[in-house]
Amino acid sequence: MLFNSPEFLFAFLPLTLALFFLFGSRLGARAAMFWLIAASLFFYSWWEPKNLLLLVFSLLFNYRLSQWLIARTEAGRPSKPGLVLGIAVNLGLLGWFKYANFFADNIGSLVGRDWDFGTIVLPLAISFFTFQQISYLVDGYRGQVQRCSALDYTLVVTFFPHLIAGPIVRYQSVLPQFKVPGVFAWDANRVGCGLTLFVMGLFKKMVFADGIAPYANSAFDAAAQGVTLTFSEAWIGALAYTCQLYFDFSGYSDMAIGIAWMFGIRFALNFDSPYKATSIIDFWRRWHMTLSAFLRDYLYIALGGSRHGAVRRYANLATTMLLGGLWHGAGWTFVVWGGLHGSYLVVNHGWRALSARLGFTDERPLLPRPVAWLITFLAVVAAWVLFRAHDLSSAGSMLASMVGVHGFEWAFTANVGIPRRYAVIGIVVLLGIAVTMPNTQQWLARFSPALDRPDRTLLRPVQRMVDRVHWRPGVMWSALGGAMAAACVLSLTRVSQFIYFQF
């Protein structure tokens, strides 16, 4: 069930929210929790009911194993084989559904055989609930979490705002919030704040992301069909996708955080204006922050982190990003995208080390900040071409057009069919918003709908504007929210899936 579908907006969400508070106030916390679990399982099964069996198996297996691992650790006898078994089973399921045919195709091509496991449909959200439960197994083995009831565990894993596409929540950050008595009581300010954030995210998705998507699709589809794009076509296609992906996924993340806050639960921040980053290191601290934290805590550090010298550190960075790229999809474009970002990070860390030796600091950088921002942004855009392209060949052709290999023609061919004027206006407006304006969390920062505080670095005129008109319950913000909601309702005729649903 999509957050931007009529079924969710006008039936599921209001009914789930109303009965949650009704059960919480009349029947108690356990009744409200049971209702929320039932609603979340219904939400998950809406797309494909049989996939509910996989989710239930994953819940039962990981819950039993996690409680056993925690008990062993509490008794002073941690079981590493048990942890390895749990990770192997989780990754085995993920590997079968997501990567079986990818590896079969590639191995088959190497040995000259045609291997195929047939059609394997990727279960919705398997990447997200697998990573979440692996983190709980590891934390249990490390003694960082305590044993819990099956009800608590199931609620944290299945809570529908994060279930499909994140953010990747940690058990120890969410469950204590459900133990606060006030969470089951209606709070108008809290619901209003969460609803505002939800509508802002919905507007990002349905108006901004879906509005610019046709320009990106035209260029990438043409490249996949073997059309050699002109310089301007390639750049407009790449920049249009840069805007589409940003507003699609940041919109989804805002909606998830907003829905959770309506229920009184704060999620970790997942986006913090990543296109304002002045380095790739800074970019990954701002983009898909919960995935970055997972890869750091459970992969990079497990590989040795920075504890074994610079060479090993850079190898660990590259390996982490390669696997992070593969997590996004079973295709060489994602692997190369991850490898490219791994290379970016290695270069960035090396540059920082050189700058430090030359006496430069973050406050007095070697490169002026506008130059550092431009280099970072162009590197991210180039990588997005690989992320979006149908295959490596079309990605290579598009990147070649972007650097002028095929000339610097500004005309648009009939094969691509992009109305240049509207495409350019859309890109300029959306990038202007992403790069210069406050993000949604900054507008609502005084009410703290997320666990983390957003970055406070804003241009002085923008900061003064936020200080004057930050979100608060009142007529102005209600009217603005109503206008955005109306624009979204008018767009319901073209409901589209979120990009990260495929991962």
Catalytic residue among 162, 288, 328, 341: 328
CB 250 within 8 A of CB 271: yes
Clarify whether 470 is annotated catalytic.
no
Helices 310-328 and 332-357 cross at an angle (nearest 10°) of 150
d(Cα 449, Cα 447) in Å, to the nearest integer? Answer: 6
Residues ≥6 apart with Cβ < 8 Å to 267:
161, 162, 167, 169, 174, 256, 257, 260, 261, 450, 451
287-299: b (≥16 Cβ within 10 Å) or e: bbbbbbbbbeebb
d(Cα 198, Cα 57) in Å, to the nearest integer? Answer: 31
Task: Phi first, then psi: give them for residue 81, nearest 5 degrees.
Answer: -60, -35
What is the identity of the amino acid at 408?
F
Residue with tokens 């497990």, as numbered in its chain: 302
CA 178 to mean position of chain CA atoms: 24
SS3 331: coil
Structure tokens at 33: 């929790």
Q: 450 pairs with which residues across the strands?
A: 267
Q: 267 pairs with which residues across the strands?
A: 450
CB 138 within 8 A of CB 294: no
d(Cα 467, Cα 461) in Å, to the nearest integer? Answer: 10
The CB-side HSE value for 493 (13 A sphere, CA atoms) comes to: 2
Interior angle at CA 298, CA 297 and CA 302, nearest 5: 95
Q: In this structure, what DSSP letter does residue 253 have? A: H
What is the identity of the amino acid at 123?
P
Q: How many residues does the chain have?
A: 503
Q: Which residues are identified as catalytic?
A: 328
